[in-house]
């Protein structure tokens, strides 16, 4: 009967041991975490850009790093990358790499203009993805696409799908061999209109192969119409083997 208290003491000691170990681990982990967060050894001292970029972009990114604690551990690259892309439509890609213990390298890629996207008197540079990223003046030397939509748009918006834009460039490449283009218009996702310098238009379907429509155009111009001067308004290629012109 007198041995039972001894057994209880052993059990209490056995229970205390893992608690003490867990408590020690917690204290050590907290100390280590605090050291990593406040130790000046891990303070971001150098931010380098792999390519030349606009000063305002560099200032923005450096400020965001400062706001995030200016520490290699507290700094979150993905969050800052998203903020930069939202704030600067000109940027197509932002990649930030942490280099321990105190450096950050930033790689920026800017959008390149492929054409002008115009709504009445407002024009914007548009990249290969169909994203508008900068206001610009109307210039005859550019590929000009007029939108007939009345929806308001903002820089950074994708105003046309990449596949539809590539069809416009395909039409441009094929038509320039024979005809001079003044501008394109995009009345809907199913249709592309081409205004020629001669004053009449060609209507293409985005749902049919461009090559086939070009073949039909060539047949009509050479065999049926003959003299392009007879065309006053348009040639409509959107209905397969049936072609309308006026």
Flag whether pLDDT at 229 surpasses 90.
Answer: no
Band (19; pLDDT cuts 50, 70, 90): low
Mean pLDDT of 212-216: 92
What pLDDT is recorded for position 171? 94
Write out the DSSP string of 25-59: HHHHHHHHHHHHHH-GGGB--EEEESS---HHHHH
Choose among 81, 93, 149, 92: nearest CA to 118. Answer: 149
Structure tokens at 20: 């003490």
Q: What is the dihedral of CA 155, 145, 167, 189, to 10 degrees?
A: 70
Domain 115-245 matching CATH 3.40.50.11690: the answer reads yes
Cα separation, 212 vs 206, in Å, equals 12
Cα separation, 107 vs 104, in Å, equals 10
Q: What does the mean pLDDT of the chain come to?
A: 82
231: which DSSP letter? Answer: -
Report yes or no: 49 and 106 within 8 Å, Cβ to Cβ: yes
Report yes or no: 136 and 124 within 8 Å, Cβ to Cβ: yes
Domain boundaries, the chain: 40-110, 115-245
Report yes or no: 138 and 122 within 8 Å, Cβ to Cβ: no
Flag whether pLDDT at 137 surpasses 80.
Answer: yes
Band (35; pLDDT cuts 50, 70, 90): low
39-53 pLDDT per residue, tens: 555 577 788 888 777
Cα separation, 121 vs 142, in Å, equals 15
Flag whether pLDDT at 147 surpasses 60.
Answer: yes
180-210 pLDDT per residue, tens: 999 999 888 899 999 999 899 999 999 999 9
Q: What percent of the chain has pLDDT over 90?
A: 44
What pLDDT is recorded for position 99? 83
**Torsion sign across C-alpha atoms 62, 66, 67, 71:** positive
Phi, psi (deg, nearest 5) at residue 151: -70, 140
Q: How many CA atoms lie within 13 A of 243 on its CB side?
A: 21
- Helix, strand, coil % over all residues of the chain, rounded to 5: 40, 30, 30
104-126 pLDDT per residue, tens: 899 999 999 999 999 888 999 99
Which CATH architecture does the domain made up of 40-110 adopt? Roll (3.10)
């Amino acid at each position: 009967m007198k041995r039972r208290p001894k057994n209880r003491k052993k059990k209490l000691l056995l229970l205390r041991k893992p608690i003490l170990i867990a408590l020690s681990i917690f204290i050590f982990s907290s100390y280590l975490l605090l050291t990593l967060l406040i130790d000046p050894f891990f303070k971001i001292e150098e931010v380098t850009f792999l390519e030349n970029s606009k000063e305002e972009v560099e200032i923005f990114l450096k400020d965001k790093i400062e706001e995030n604690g200016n520490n290699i551990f507290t700094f979150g690259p993905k969050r800052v990358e998203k903020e930069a892309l939202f704030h600067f439509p000109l940027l197509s890609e932002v990649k930030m790499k942490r280099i321990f213990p105190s450096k950050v390298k930033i790689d920026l890629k800017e959008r390149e203009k492929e054409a002008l996207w115009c709504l009445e008197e407002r024009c914007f540079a548009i990249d290969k993805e169909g994203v508008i990223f900068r206001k610009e003046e109307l210039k005859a030397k550019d590929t000009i696409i007029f939108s007939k939509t009345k929806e308001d748009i903002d820089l950074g918006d994708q105003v046309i799908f990449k596949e539809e834009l590539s069809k416009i460039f395909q039409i441009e490449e094929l038509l320039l061999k024979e005809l001079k283009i003044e501008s394109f218009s995009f009345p809907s996702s199913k249709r592309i209109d081409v205004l020629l310098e001669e004053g009449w238009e060609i209507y293409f379907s985005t749902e049919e192969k461009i090559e086939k429509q070009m073949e039909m155009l060539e047949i009509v111009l050479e065999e049926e119409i003959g003299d392009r001067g007879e065309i006053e308004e348009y040639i409509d290629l959107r209905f397969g083997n049936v072609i309308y012109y006026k």
